[in-house]
Amino acid sequence: MVVTPTISSSSSVEDISSQQINILKAADDLYGGVRVEMKEPIDYNDFDTLLRTSISHWREQGKKGIWLKLPLELANLVEAAVKQGFWYHHAEPTFLMLVYWIPRTDHTLPANASHTVGVGAFIMNNKREILVVQENNGRFRGTGMWKLPTGIVDAGEDIGEAVIREVKEETGIKAEFMELLAVRQSHDLSFGKSDLFFVCMLRPNSFDIQKQDSEIAAAKWMAFEEYAAQSYIEKREHFNYIAKICAAKIDNDYIGFGAHTATKASYQRKKSCLYFNNNGGLVVPDNI
């Protein structure tokens, strides 16, 4: 079958010329598959027929994976796709991504995002006091425990940007990123996903605390030794290690990973950042 796809007036449908068969408008991906993004409302039965015809067409073309993006407004089409053999790949607040695998082999589609990412800030003034907070929510709420400012790294956000943003939001303190001191990987947190938590050292550029009221119950500068002596830190192995790492850093006895922003591939809007131990310019000159 010779097909010459042309784009029809409808944004989601294209017309295969010689036989006047309508199929869904699709873009080829780099792995022998196609991507379909539905945008306009369409009747359930019309979509059902179009999808069936389209799959046949792509099968004849030897296509592999089919990605189908349905915006929240077109939730009425989800059932039709699932009945034809699609399954869920991932979802965000405004859309659902479904996939289908045409070959008779196991699929080789990439996995969904698997980790949430968090940051904690170790930030000290010149009196050996560190910035600590008490939160309005979470497991230490109401316990009187002081903790490092922490937060979530969003998709598209650098670890270093995220930790600076969280410190500013929670305490009003302006700071700059110095080093990754440690990384913790935990499992079985939100929704069966895993979590990576980066302990970051920051240098403060301001010192007057303006706490955020909605999330933060209290914020202050606290003597490091007082922070580290809190019972919840002494009792929990990893908190204890992190406090020891910070203590070693204070004494200039610890080297973490510095940030080296560098390459950006053509398909990326933002540069990648590599974190490593560049102790004294050992790996690359320190002035990059």
Stretch that binds a copy of itself, among 1-9, 14-22, 50-58, 83-91 (CB under 8 A): 83-91
Bridge partners of residue 101, in order along the sequence: 65
**Alpha helices of 175-263 — where are they, by DSSP H?**
224-228, 231-235, 237-250
Task: Decide whether 62 or 156 has the Cβ nearer to a copy of itself.
Answer: 156
* 140 contributes a contact to a copy of itself by CB under 8 A: no
Bridge partners of residue 36, in order along the sequence: 68
* 111 contributes a contact to a copy of itself by CB under 8 A: yes
Q: Which of residues 22-81 bind a copy of itself (CB under 8 A)?
A: 31, 72, 75-76, 78-79, 81
Question: Pattern of binders to a copy of itself over 250-269, x per CB under 8 A?
Answer: ---xxxxx--x-xx---xxx
Choose, by CB under 8 A, the member of 2, 19, 187, 231 that binds a copy of itself: 187
Please, what is the minimum distance in Å from the beta carbon of residue 177 to a copy of itself? 12
In Å, what is the CA distance from 4 to each residue of 18, 25, 30?
8, 12, 20
Choose, by CB under 8 A, the member of 17, 56, 125, 186 that binds a copy of itself: 186
Round to whole Å and give the CA distance between 182 and 243: 11
Round to whole Å and give the CA distance between 288 and 284: 8
The C-alpha angle with vertex 198 and arms to 219 and 288, in degrees rounded to 5, equals 105
Catalytic annotation, pick one of 79, 169, 170, 176: 169
Please, what is the minimum distance in Å from the beta carbon of residue 3 to a copy of itself? 26
4: left (phi over 0), alpha (psi -120 to 50) or beta: beta
* 95 contributes a contact to a copy of itself by CB under 8 A: yes
Torsion sign (Cα): 12, 17, 19, 20: positive
Q: Which of residues 161-180 bind a copy of itself (CB under 8 A)?
A: 180
Choose, by CB under 8 A, the member of 90, 127, 128, 203 that binds a copy of itself: 90
Round to whole Å and give the CA distance between 43 and 152: 40
- For the question of residue 166 being annotated catalytic, the response is no
The residues annotated as belonging to the active site are 169
